[in-house]
Amino acid sequence: MKKSASILSAGIIVLAFVLILRSAFSLTKEPEDTVVGVSASWSKGYDTVEQMEEASDIIISGRIKHSEPEVRENLVFTMNHIEVLSVHKGSNISVGDTIKLLQTGGTFKGKTTVAFSEIPLLQEEVEYLLFLYKSPADKLYEEYYLIMGGFQGVASKTMEGSYQALSSANSKFIEDSADRFAAITTQTNKAEKEVLQ
């Protein structure tokens, strides 16, 4: 009887200890509800495609080879490894190279960070036209590329072979510089064909 009482007491003490530890180390609650949206203050935007073209480090068409999640503090990001299919701008990049492109959002070990509605995660099998800039040197992270203007510098290739804005937030911006955007996509398509031939 005494033995079972002491076991019970020990169990209660251990349980209490665990609960105290848990509350001490759990700094914040994690919301259990579904995230219905994400809003951002984007760093830099462009008024025209011409301006974006000028500021881009590279402009390529490409397709995802593979992607992997990357946890940074409390958020999950996705590092896309993209095969370069054609190069519109960028002297130190060639067709067949693979570049790394970071996007916010992803899933790692059951933890999901929702991607922006303005810029969903890129899909495999889809070809994209990408206006990119290189991340500045950082002590914490290796170099990689990012999409210009947050969501502005990406368009997906349609079945008909033309490129269209990935999100509605981008379409007006491209419409406003339709001629220049069309010229870039035509040149990109031409470059791809030449590579194939």
| 28 scored as a contact of another protein (CB under 8 A) | yes
Cα–Cα distances in angstroms (integers) from residue 96 to residues 51, 62, 65, in the given order: 27, 9, 11
Rounded CA separation 131/115 (Å): 19
String of contacts with another protein for each residue 52-91, x by CB under 8 A: --------------------xxxx-x--------------
Task: Please state, in angstroms and rounded to a whole number, the distance separating the CA atoms of residues 130 and 110.
Answer: 30
**111 touches another protein by CB under 8 A:** no
All residues at 6 or more sequence positions from 165 whose CB lies less than 8 Å from its CB, including other chains: 155, 171, 173, 174
Using the rule CB under 8 A, which residue among 22, 37, 96, 125 binds another protein? 37
Identify which of residues 86 and 129 has a Cβ nearer to another protein in the complex.
129
Q: How many angstroms separate the Cα of 106 from the Cα of each of 80, 111, 146?
A: 11, 8, 16
Stretch that binds another protein, among 7-15, 55-63, 120-128, 132-140 (CB under 8 A): 132-140
Q: Is 24 in the site for another protein (CB under 8 A)?
A: no
Chain residues in the site for another protein (CB under 8 A): 27-29, 31, 33-45, 72-75, 77, 102, 104, 114, 135-136, 138, 140-141, 146-147, 149-150
